[in-house]
Amino acid sequence: MWRIAGHLTRGLAMIWAVTTFTFVLIRLMPGDPVQVQYERLIAQGMTPDQAESATAITYGFVPHGPMWKQYLEYMWGLAHLDLGVSVESQGVPVADRVFGALPWTVLLVLSGILISFLIGVVLGVVAAMRRSTMVGHGLSIAGSLLHGVPPFVIGIVLAALFTRRWRWFPSGGHFNGDEVSPGFYYDFIGDVAYHAVLPAASFAVASYGGWLLAMRSSVASVLGDDFLLAAELRGLRPFMRFRYLARNAILPLFTVLAISFGLVFGGSIFIERIFNYPGLGMLLYQSIGARDFSMMSGAFLLITAAVIVANILADVLYTVIDPRVRRQA
Amino acid sequence: MNMGVTIAGLTVTYGDLPAVKDVSLRLEDGTITGLVGESGSGKSTLALSLLGHGNIASGSVFIDGVGDMSKMDKGALRAVRGAKIGYVFQAAQNSLNPLLTVGKQLLDLAKSHGVRDVRGAHPLLRRMGLDPDRVLNSYQHELSGGMRQRVGIMFALVLNAHVLVLDEPTTALDMITQANILQIVREVHADRGLTTLIVTHDVGVVAEVASRVAVMYGGRIVECGSTKEVLANPRHPYTRGLINAIPRLTGPVDVAKPLPGTPPTLGTIPAVGCVFRARCPIRMDVCSAQEPEMIDDVACHAVGVTAK
Ligand SMILES: Nc1ncnc2c1ncn2[C@@H]1O[C@H](COP(=O)(O)OP(=O)(O)O)[C@@H](O)[C@H]1O
Ligand SMILES: [Mg+2]
């Protein structure tokens, strides 16, 4: 319980830091975007009062007046999940856009991580058990080969191969709106998966090697533990001993899992751009290009929040499977 | 049930190097035998070979009514381990899965051996002064060293094994707990009519619980016999050295004379001649040329000379 409270406190502190940072960024940017919009609206024929309130809706604070007052208004809006409205597509609330994009990014990130985690862990176990055979060496090499290559490089290669060279996979979008309409049925889910395969695979291909190497060394270290020898000397069935081994070996990987969520979420900016996949990262990318600062800060905020939530979830998972932590809590 | 153990000409190797070399020893049914020697002398390797573990290069380990552990296949070994012969680790070693409760691991043990009923654990734990319900619901990290050791003994005996092997069961425990564990070993041994081997580097432990003793050095048994006789009248210079190294509670401290030198490691055990000669106060020329044979329960050229 205390651990989770600690996480929440740290998480809120982080969100506060990020939002304050974006506020400062928006206010102090060279060429002050708030002022720019205000002047543009006036140039379009609005009265100063109209322009001021329109700008206030966009950013969540009145553009003129003391800085601390603007900051408080901004924070007050955020506390009510009011992220302002988009500068670029006028009138569209930022909250609608970012929360609409979020599930798609979560889909990519989650499936990418889970696939690479599963593949890496299984291969890591095999690599550790067959350490001194060709299979073991081969796997270790395969693991280190792509380890450290950033996902976007893999993404570019996959996109070039499978959407340009061979047109096996679609070159963008969540699903093909002409053929399927959203709903919980086979064709739609299939089409969504079809569109998500390559971006998710980019994450998976880039990170399975890390899991493989981590799991291999973890298994190797647990294999030397006395309790496994003890289990053998008690005549425990081989599959039970394997279960003991696997559960103990996978445990330390969960802490890494939390970190990897953050990295992969950050990496989604590039991946979604490469595959033209409209998620949170794509939104952030576009808003940067359009100097759409309210959208930028909204997307940024949500990515931060998602990473924090992922950290908390990973920690809860850890607590569930490790009794040494569980009983302390 | 008659379940003595006969070890004959046993050699156990790590790689090419023998950690146990040509050892013959009989554990009489119903006795506690102490296996004593400095760290690195091959005691654990020998103890593990009783369960058919390790690379047994030659020789045999025959358990009466069970068979030769050195020749069994994996399946047969698995059935015997835990059911006919129990092994207890040193308390400081983690012999339990840290992620499962004692009770859950007990069920795994039962399932592995096709046993349905493990309620025998309750009286056994109570007999050792533990609260069964509490212990079975605990994880390893919630148990003290002494409790772990009792749980280890419970695991070794709950399926009614008749041969019990304990490897340094009191090392790393405080004095009071040590005495407690030894008391328990003595009691369950007597209750259940076991054949027990207790491995230790501490001659005091042997004196306290074992009726027979085997002294090990450099992978060889150099002397064995009844504890009383060997301790009162040690014949091998290594046994004498071990006994003289014990500090007495009474009398001046300087009576204790630590053995000079250090025991050999696997790579430095001499291949020919007596393995103890480098540290031996009474070495002779023959000691470097020829390995002494075990005659009348002692393997020493000097002893042979005086007897002649
Ligand atoms: N797994 C192993 N691999 C290689 N050498 C080992 C291994 N286990 C023990 N040895 C060596 O074998 C010798 C005997 O070890 P051991 O049986 O543990 O002695 P003891 O229990 O008397 O301390 C030592 O020299 C030790 O270094
Ligand atoms: Mg040992």
Chain A residue whose CA is closest to B157: A234
The answer to whether the CB atoms of A233 and B142 lie below 8 A apart is no
Tens of pLDDT, residues B133-168: 999 999 999 999 899 999 999 999 999 999 999 999
Q: How many CB atoms lie within 10 A of CB B228?
A: 12
The H helix count followed by the E strand count for chain A is 14, 0
Decide which of B303 and B291 is more confident.
B291
B304 has pLDDT over 70: no
How far, in Å, from the CA of B268 to the mean position of ligand 1? 13
The answer to whether the CB atoms of A235 and B95 lie below 8 A apart is no
3-state secondary structure of B221: strand
Gap between the Cα atoms of A42 and A32, Å rounded: 16
Type of residue at A255: T
Residue A237, chain B, CB below 8 Å: the answer is yes
A18 has pLDDT over 80: yes
Res A296: pLDDT: 84
Gap between the Cα atoms of A16 and A10, Å rounded: 10
Q: How many CB atoms lie within 10 A of CB B232?
A: 9
Res B308: pLDDT: 42
Please report residues of B whose CB lies closer than 8 A to that of A218.
none
Locus of tokens 């046994």: B239
Res B39: pLDDT: 92
* Number of residues assigned to chain B: 308
Q: Which atom of ligand 1 is nearest to the CA of B46?
A: 17
B64 and B50 Cβ atoms separated by less than 8 Å? no
Please report residues of A whose CB lies closer than 8 A to that of B113.
235
Based on C-alpha coordinates, what's the Rg of chain B?
A: 20
* Of residues A83, A36, A76, the one with CA closest to residue A55: A36
Tens of pLDDT, residues A297-313: 888 888 888 888 887 88
Domains and CATH numbers, chain B: 5-92+99-248+257-289 (3.40.50.300)
The answer to whether the CB atoms of A323 and B53 lie below 8 A apart is no
Rounded alpha-carbon distances, angstroms, from residue A136 to A132, A219, A247:
6, 13, 21
A-contacting residues in B 105-124 (Cβ below 8 Å): 108-109, 111-113
Q: CA B278, B284, B288: angle at the middle one, nearest 5? A: 55
Query: Which DSSP letter does residue B149 get?
Result: H
Torsion angle of C-alpha atoms A207, A212, A217, A220, degrees rounded to 10: 160
Q: How many CB atoms lie within 10 A of CB A115?
A: 18
* Of residues B107, B228, B109, the one with CA closest to residue A232: B109
The answer to whether the CB atoms of B113 and A235 lie below 8 A apart is yes
Question: Which ligand is closest in space to the CA of residue B167?
Answer: 2
Based on C-alpha coordinates, what's the Rg of chain A?
A: 24
Chain B residue whose CA is closest to A239: B112
Residue B57 belongs to what H/E stretch? strand B55-63
Gap between the Cα atoms of B202 and B225, Å rounded: 17
A183 has pLDDT over 90: no
- Give long-range contacts, CB 8 A cutoff, 24+ apart: A321-327: A321/A247, A321/A251, A321/A254, A321/B99, A322/A251, A322/B99, A323/B98, A323/B99, A323/B101, A323/B139, A323/B141, A324/B98, A324/B139, A324/B141, A325/A3, A327/B139, A327/B142
Tens of pLDDT, residues A217-253: 999 999 999 999 999 999 999 999 999 999 999 988 8
The answer to whether the CB atoms of B95 and A225 lie below 8 A apart is no
Residue A242, chain B, CB below 8 Å: the answer is no
- Give long-range contacts, CB 8 A cutoff, 24+ apart: A28-35: A29/A293, A33/A87, A33/A291, A33/A293, A34/A59, A34/A63, A34/A293, A35/A63
Residue B10 belongs to what H/E stretch? strand B5-14
Q: What is the 3-state secondary structure (H, E, C) of A215-241?
A: HHHHHHHHHCCHHHHHHHHCCCCHHHH
Mean pLDDT of chain B: 91
Average the pLDDT over A32-54 and give the result. 81
Locus of tokens 């939390």: A258
Residue A224, chain B, CB below 8 Å: the answer is no
* Of residues B126, B128, B106, B125, the one with CA closest to residue B117: B106
Query: What is the reported pTM?
Result: 0.83
Domains and CATH numbers, chain A: 2-79 (no CATH), 95-328 (1.10.3720.10)
A198 and A158 Cβ atoms separated by less than 8 Å? yes
By Cβ distance, the residue of B87, B96, B156 closest to A227 is B96
Tens of pLDDT, residues B70-117: 999 999 999 999 999 999 988 777 899 999 999 999 999 999 999 988
Residues lining ligand 1, judged by CB closer than 6 Å? B 14, 19, 37, 39-45, 265-266
Query: Which DSSP letter does residue B298 get?
Result: B
The answer to whether the CB atoms of B53 and A232 lie below 8 A apart is yes
Rounded alpha-carbon distances, angstroms, from residue B121 to A160, A207, A229, B97, B185:
65, 47, 22, 18, 16
